Amino acid sequence: MHRPRWIPADVDLDRPNPARILDYFLGGAHNFAVDRRAAKQAAQAMPEVANGMRASRSFLRRAVTALVEAGVDQFLDLGSGIPTVGNVHEIAHRLAPEARVVYVDNEPIAVAHSRTILGANPLVTSVRADLRHPDSVLDLPEVREMIDFSRPVGLVAIAVLHYLPDADDPQGLVEAYHDALAPGSYLALSHATVDFVPEDQLGAVSQVEGIYRQISAQLRPRPYGEVAKFFTGLDLLPPGVVPVRQWRSEWSEEHEGKVHLSYGGVGRKP
Per-residue pLDDT band at 169 (split at 50, 70, 90): very high
**Residue 69 near residue 94 (C-beta atoms within 8 A):** no
**Residue 62 near residue 264 (C-beta atoms within 8 A):** no
Specify which residues 103 forms β-bridges with: 77, 126
Residues 6+ apart with CB under 8 A from 251: 55, 58, 245
Give the helix ranges, DSSP H, for 83-169: 88-95, 108-118, 134-138, 141-146
- State pLDDT tens for residues 239-257: 999 999 999 976 554 554 5
Task: Pick the closest to residue 219 from 177, 166, 172, 266 (CA basis).
Answer: 166
Query: What number of CA atoms fall less than 13 Å from residue 104's CA on the CB side?
Result: 28
Task: Pick the closest to residue 25 from 54, 45, 68, 2 (CA basis).
Answer: 54
Task: Pick the closest to residue 113 from 103, 123, 101 (CA basis).
Answer: 103
Q: Is the pTM value of this prediction over 0.85?
A: yes
- State pLDDT tens for residues 33-46: 888 998 898 888 88
Domain range annotation of the chain = 18-268
In the chain, what are the helix, strand and coil shares in percent, each to the nearest 5? 45, 15, 40
pLDDT score at 21: 84
Using CB atoms within 10 A of its CB, is residue 153 exposed (0-12), middle (13-18) or buried (19+)? buried
Return the DSSP state at 62.
H
pLDDT score at 107: 79
Measured CA to CA, the distance from residue 106 to residue 114 in angstroms comes to: 12
pLDDT score at 115: 79
Per-residue pLDDT band at 135 (split at 50, 70, 90): very high
- At residue 77, does pLDDT exceed 80? yes
Specify which residues 154 forms β-bridges with: 75, 186
- At residue 149, does pLDDT exceed 90? yes
Residues 6+ apart with CB under 8 A from 125: 101, 102, 103, 118, 142, 146
**Domain 18-268 is found in CATH 3.40.50.150:** yes
Lowest-confidence pick of 165-174, 186-195, 204-213, 241-250: 204-213
Q: What are phi and psi of 71, to 5 degrees?
A: 105, 0
